[in-house]
């Protein structure tokens, strides 16, 4: 299994190295999108990566497949690949996909005053969507909502039926809002959720954690390269302890982020995937701020320019850490869970994770 | 650039059995009020507790049976150790012997030393001290001044060791000494010797009280102390390589994460009572660190089990882990307004006082933060 | 005026240098007290420093006189001088003092379930005192309490009428508790407070801020001296940027602490002394934790021993920052005040301080 | 050990009058919607606003009247500047000229330069750029490579300056150049020249966009640019001393504290709405920093007014002050869950986005944190 994973990641890495460059990043600034790059990604089968083999997928373990999100983050891939390849898996039972479709996620922070009302054979969806990543470019939006019976439903909305109001993230990527406007849905668009699996909010948080872990890994590499090349006072700044100590501290944060995200990726099929995802989003998000700060400090003025590539990673870190729940949101969930367990019960719970 | 690798590790079934065994043992200890969790750290010395650990097979777990071990895996040991730490058990007496000295003897000692010492350690009846630091050689370990000179059937040691925890109570100390004159390579010519603290002539031990007036450290003076040939560890002159190898064991364990766990435990109960928004958030943040660090530490244990040399990863665990341990008292005091006290009977106040007063040494012992970050920086390829 | 102040501080500094040493510190550990040293301090007139000249004092400005608290902190003076010299000033109108008396302060955090009931010509005092600094050694305890009319009263309690239950601070200094046990007080022991002046809690917080600022100043000196003397890798550790950068950061915190404490000392007779005192206790307390951590890190194992003198300063920092309100207590007061003012009103308020 | 001194300063009555005047002016500007506070920083360029500041006497305040100044004190200027910053006024156009270039010319320039330039600056009609950094000389300022060679009636400059804010809009740039070959003393042989950016031949300016795509920085190429003798600042070869003297002015002002004040203002209103415990505490903490830093900054202004040279204190203000400015967006995003956006019309979201994206440069511009701490360490007597 790891052979297949490594092969796919290897090919994907080469594709990203080829395609992700200043032009592609610029194409996604101000809310733009590169159809051409998306086609290349879909053609390689990356969007279908988590489908079963008989559905045209690679049949990878979820945890193995999710490494692709980390790799996409490492390359600051300006495409909605992560949400799409998870989305494809989640809708596989009801929508026939070609692999070119763009599927995006609306977590609970993206949904305002929404509700789901039965209407004849189907449903009516009421409410607002806000700051949906890649919204205006999407074919489908996935979201979870409770129906009147209190049980959660997973809803697939065709994105071209929405009027998107454009906005962008700090990285310039599309983050668009739309009114649901009593949207009529067929029965097929609304199904029960898998009660033990991650919610859409949790999937989103997990993907952003992995993407951040990757982007931080790359930011550290860039900072180390810069420190070895940039000379001041007659020698590379890498020689100065003031630089070394900061980069070592950053490396610790990057390592923690990688470990937390990887652990959460392995937990999606476990008993309480939400807890490990909460840990990951909280821990990685916290590390991201510190890592971005050190990377910029080491790069000094050069890293503060548009010309340098560092900001394509750090602006994504700053925007991703806010999406699908900020650190306090997830820390609160962890705190609630642990305080309900109590001091004595905490260890049996934690050691079982 | 070199990247750190923290591959995920799954615990084997055997580890889960050991967890169960350790929990039963600890529950029984607590039921008999044999220790008070919130007053302990892994440095707390309790020879009786250590003997009971030995009887239950919790020391030298991964050593061969012929040396008193139980042929368990590094992950099995990890689980037992974390259970002990989480329970606040007083492991200080056998701690050094179990964590590093025994492993060192097993890997590099003479057959005579193995046969004589390892079974005693595993029985929880033989304790070790570390003899690396000297008054003028703290972070700069290679500058040791202790001299080892040839004598009939062995060596004679002269010099001084310092910060040796439990030297006044331990049976043995492993001394790092210069066995050849200092040459071009500062790291060559160092040798490790097993010194019998109780039976050797020429040893004087001076207590050094720490800032909360507890006797843990010592200064140990060596005046013509004889060590027999079979008490050398490894080849003469190769001590440096062994010392650095040992550090991966010393730096990556759950003891670099859980030093203030007893306070965290008290804090969770205190915060649970009020359950206010930002307090829950602060606790949740700490838990996100703890869960992540445990994964990292486990991952290093997996690498050690596979025979890899995760020096960098171990340094990272200690750097991030000790920062976490140090943060707990600083955060606890902001969340719950209870004045710290070393002995007023309030478990929260006592755990807070102990945590606050001992925190400074977390980022000093076993390699200062600055030294660790220097190692990491080198590992990152900064040149 | 500054000449007199400087003369007094100079003499006091010499006295403290002479008397404060390991033996004196040890005498105050485990709740002890050195009568001899106290006598020397009183004899120099330091306890009466803030009294008017006709009351036997130096007639100093309050702000100038308060510098003595900073100096006492700088020397880690293990005597209740700070509380006493302020206390003398506060009780001067009702008690004739010789200068040898020890007066201590009970802030609101030291008082539990207390109330003041009229009883005949006098009053009855009900409640508990907890962790009063130097309680068992004191002659008088000063505290503020509201009477039934809601107005605050300032109460002087003769300390020898209380049964003290001993405890100590992290620095080993006496922090004692006592039940007030329906204590009968004469009319003279209870007076109206000066409504615009600092409360007892605020006086206590101001003194601890000044003491911490002094102790931090000394801890920085010790760390710099140590760094210049201690050699590793063949040179003083002061040569290493990893040490330099930490000490420079510490120096910034020490400077901030000094500035905050000095500003509050100048504000006691202003319109809203409580605000600047809140700023000082919050800011200095925060700096104290960081400063103690760096001082210990630079001193490494040597600073962690009883033999070294560093801990006499750092253990006091750790205990003083908790006393008369922790940082969150004062930060909350500041936050309440500022949020009541609002974003637009904040600047006119702050610029007027 | 050298201690820092931050003596308390009382503002003179004149400063209070200036505060009143500045507030009236700013209230009028806002009443006419001439600027949007939360979108501005002190770098925001608005030539019209600068002209109005000049008309109201808010530029070159402490210069002699004969050069267009108003003979006010450094504390008077301090008050006006902090009022502008707190109000979110766009001072970027005249900022450099008012904060440092004009002072430099007044103290060290030729009479001709003073007479020609200072009145224009004070009128708010003449703007300056800083020409210190070069592509290979950032923190290591003494390594400047720009060459100044003698020519008839003046000097000719060749080389490149970088990170020169507003070079594309300013009238002048003060260039630090090497006027003698590099000798033993790296700090000798440097001279400062006033370069007319609009009228000189041989200047090419290349824009450098910052990470949020705003054009502030430039790279400026000098190809045989002529500077007349009377545009030298100070004696030939003494540029280094002046540059370091200037830094105390550059590093200690309220601009090193208030860069993200507009976000703090928004944050206070947002937190006031909910008024939850720990949120109030977090705001109170920030205010305790702000009030303290303002005292420190004021104290340095008092020293500058008295003619002292508080280089160390200025470095400390910048080190602590910029850390505070950087913390505000990091804390704001944790307290109020509003997604940052540079231009969606929500003042909180816009102030947050601006703060977050500009924060990295606070601890770089005007001397990196590492350089400042090195200066402080030296001042502490670490040797």
The complex's ipTM works out to 0.96
Using a CB-CB cut-off of 8 Å, the residues of chain C touching D6 are 255, 258-259, 262
The pLDDT of residue B126: 98
User: How many other CB atoms are found less than 10 A from the CB of residue D76?
Assistant: 25
Q: How far is B333 from chain D, CA to nearest CA, in Å?
A: 14
pLDDT tens digits, A252-299 = 999 999 999 999 999 999 989 999 999 999 999 999 999 999 999 999
pLDDT tens digits, D136-161 = 887 788 889 999 999 999 999 999 99
Model confidence at C136: pLDDT above 90? yes
pLDDT tens digits, B231-276 = 999 999 989 888 887 777 778 899 999 999 999 999 999 999 987 8
Strand pairing partners for D194? D174
Interface contact D289, partner C, CB < 8 A: yes
Q: Please report which confidence band the pLDDT of residue D309 belongs to, taking 50, 70 and 90 as the band edges.
A: confident
Nearest residue on chain D to C244, alpha-carbon basis: D377
Q: Which residues contact B345 (CB under 8 A, 6 or more apart)?
A: none
Rounded to an integer, what distance in angstroms lies between the CA atom of residue C75 and that of residue D4? Answer: 18
Strand pairing partners for C108? none
Task: Judge contact between C28 and C89, C-beta under 8 A.
Answer: no
> Would you state the torsion angle of the CA atoms of residues D304, D306, D311, D313, taken in this order, to the nearest 10 degrees?
-90
Coil, helix or strand at residue C192: strand
Model confidence at D331: pLDDT above 70? yes
For residue C79, give both structure tokens: 């005597």
Interface contact B210, partner C, CB < 8 A: yes
Interface contact C349, partner A, CB < 8 A: no
Q: How far is CA D191 from CA A298, D99, D145, D194, D241, in A?
A: 29, 20, 12, 10, 10
Model confidence at A28: pLDDT above 60? yes
Please state whether beta strands B232-233 and B190-196 pair in parallel, antiparallel, or not at all (unpaired).
antiparallel
Packing angle between helix A273-303 and helix A241-265, nearest 10 degrees? 150
pLDDT tens digits, C190-229 = 998 877 899 999 999 999 999 999 999 999 999 999 999 9
Rounded to an integer, what distance in angstroms lies between the CA atom of residue D197 and that of residue D243? Answer: 20
Test the B interface: residue of D278, D279, D283, D331 with most B CBs within 10 Å = D278
Interface contact B269, partner C, CB < 8 A: no
Interface contact D278, partner B, CB < 8 A: yes
pLDDT tens digits, A323-333 = 999 999 999 99
C107 burial (CB, 10 Å; 0-12 / 13-18 / 19+) is: buried
> Would you state the torsion angle of the CA atoms of residues A71, A76, A78, A82, taken in this order, to the nearest 10 degrees?
30
Please tell me the least confidently modeled range out of A308-312, B8-12, D23-27.
B8-12
Write down which chains contact chain D via at least 3 CB pairs under 8 A. A, B, C
Q: How far is CA B73 from CA B69, B77, B80, C26, in A?
A: 11, 6, 11, 50
Find the length of chain A: 353
For residue B65, give both structure tokens: 């049976």
User: How many other CB atoms are found less than 10 A from the CB of residue A118?
Assistant: 13
The pLDDT of residue B289: 98
- Write down the H helix ranges in D123-260: 239-251
Q: By C-alpha distance, which of C45, C105, C108, C37 is closest to C75?
A: C37
Model confidence at A44: pLDDT above 90? yes
pTM of the model: 0.96
Q: Please report which confidence band the pLDDT of residue C87 belongs to, taking 50, 70 and 90 as the band edges.
A: very high
From chain C residues 222-251, the ones with a CB under 8 A of any chain A CB are 240-242, 244-245
Taking residues A24-50, what's their average pLDDT? 95
Write down which chains contact chain A via at least 3 CB pairs under 8 A. B, C, D
pLDDT tens digits, B38-77 = 888 888 999 999 999 999 999 999 999 999 999 999 999 9
Residue where the block lists tokens 């220097």: B374
Which H/E stretch holds residue B207?
strand B203-209
* Buried residues in A320-344 as b, exposed as e (16+ CB within 10 A): bbbbbbbbbbbbbbbbbbbbebebe
DSSP D38: G
Using a CB-CB cut-off of 8 Å, the residues of chain B touching D278 are 276-279, 281-282
The pLDDT of residue B2: 60
- Write down the H helix ranges in chain C: 2-19, 22-28, 35-43, 62-74, 81-91, 200-229, 241-265, 273-303, 310-320, 327-351
C247–D377: do the CB atoms touch at under 8 Å?
A: yes
């Amino acid at each position: 299994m790891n052979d297949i994973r490594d092969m796919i990641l290897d090919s994907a890495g080469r594709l990203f190295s080829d395609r992700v460059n200043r032009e592609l990043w610029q194409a996604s600034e101000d809310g733009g999108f590169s159809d051409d790059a998306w086609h290349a990604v879909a053609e390689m089968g990356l969007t279908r990566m988590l489908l079963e083999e008989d559905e045209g997928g690679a049949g990878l373990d979820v945890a193995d497949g999710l490494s692709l999100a980390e790799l996409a983050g490492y390359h600051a891939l300006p495409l909605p690949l992560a949400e799409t390849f998870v989305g494809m898996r989640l809708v596989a039972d009801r929508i026939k996909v070609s692999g070119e479709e763009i599927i995006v996620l609306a977590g609970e922070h993206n949904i305002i005053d929404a509700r789901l009302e039965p209407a004849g054979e189907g449903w009516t969806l009421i409410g607002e969507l806000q700051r949906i990543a890649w919204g205006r470019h999407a074919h489908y939006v996935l979201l979870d909502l409770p129906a009147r019976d209190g049980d959660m439903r997973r809803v697939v909305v065709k994105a071209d039926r929405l009027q998107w109001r454009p906005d962008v993230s700090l990285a310039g990527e599309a983050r668009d809002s739309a009114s649901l406007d009593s949207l009529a849905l067929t029965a097929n668009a609304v199904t029960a959720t898998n009660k033990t699996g991650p919610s859409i909010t949790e999937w989103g948080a997990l993907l952003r954690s992995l993407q951040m872990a990757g982007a931080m890994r790359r930011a550290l590499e860039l900072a180390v390269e810069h420190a070895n090349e940039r000379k001041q006072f007659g020698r590379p700044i890498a020689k100065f302890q003031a630089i070394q100590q900061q980069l070592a501290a950053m490396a610790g944060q990057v390592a923690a982020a990688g470990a937390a995200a990887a652990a959460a990726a392995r937990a999606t099929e476990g008993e309480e995937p939400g807890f490990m995802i909460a840990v990951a989003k909280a821990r990685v998000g916290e590390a991201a701020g510190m890592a971005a700060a050190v990377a910029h400090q080491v790069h000094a003025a050069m890293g503060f320019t548009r010309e340098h590539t560092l900001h394509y990673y750090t602006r994504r870190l700053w925007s991703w850490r806010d999406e699908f729940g900020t650190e306090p949101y997830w820390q609160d969930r962890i705190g609630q869970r642990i305080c309900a367990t109590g001091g004595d019960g905490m260890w049996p719970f934690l050691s079982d994770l | 650039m070199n990247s750190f690798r923290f591959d995920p590790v799954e615990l084997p079934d055997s580890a889960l059995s050991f967890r169960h065994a350790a929990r039963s043992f600890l529950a029984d200890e607590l039921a008999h009020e044999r220790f008070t969790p919130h007053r302990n750290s892994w440095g707390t010395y309790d020879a009786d507790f250590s003997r009971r650990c030995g009887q239950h097979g919790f020391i030298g777990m991964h050593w061969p049976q012929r040396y008193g071990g139980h042929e368990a895996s590094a992950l099995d040991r990890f689980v037992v150790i974390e259970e002990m730490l989480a329970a606040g058990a007083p492991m200080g007496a056998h701690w050094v012997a179990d964590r590093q000295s025994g492993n060192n003897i097993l890997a590099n000692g003479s057959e005579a030393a193995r046969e004589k010492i390892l079974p005693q350690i595993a029985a929880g009846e033989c304790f070790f001290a570390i003899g690396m630091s000297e008054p003028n050689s703290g972070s700069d370990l290679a500058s040791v001044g202790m001299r080892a000179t040839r004598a009939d059937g062995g060596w004679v040691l002269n010099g001084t060791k310092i910060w040796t925890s439990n030297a006044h109570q331990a049976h043995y100390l492993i001394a790092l000494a210069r066995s050849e004159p200092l040459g071009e390579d500062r790291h060559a010519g160092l040798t490790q010797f097993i010194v019998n603290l109780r039976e050797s002539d020429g040893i004087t031990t001076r207590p050094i009280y720490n800032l909360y007036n507890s006797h843990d450290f010592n200064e140990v003076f060596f005046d013509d102390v004889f060590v027999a040939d079979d008490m050398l560890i490894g080849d003469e002159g190769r001590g440096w390589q062994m010392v650095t190898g040992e550090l991966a064991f010393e730096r990556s364990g759950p003891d670099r994460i859980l030093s203030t766990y007893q306070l965290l435990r008290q804090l969770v109960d205190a915060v649970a009572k009020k359950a206010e928004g930002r307090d829950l958030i602060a606790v949740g943040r700490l838990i996100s660190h703890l869960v992540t660090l445990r994964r990292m530490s486990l991952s290093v244990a997996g690498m050690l089990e596979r025979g890899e040399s995760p020096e960098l990863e171990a340094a990272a665990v200690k750097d991030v882990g000790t920062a976490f341990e140090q943060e707990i008292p600083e955060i606890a005091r902001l969340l719950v307004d209870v004045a710290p006290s070393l002995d007023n009977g309030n478990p929260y106040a006592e755990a807070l006082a102990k945590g606050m007063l001992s925190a400074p040494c977390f980022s000093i012992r076993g390699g200062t933060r600055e030294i660790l970050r220097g190692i990491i920086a080198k590992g990152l390829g900064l040149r």
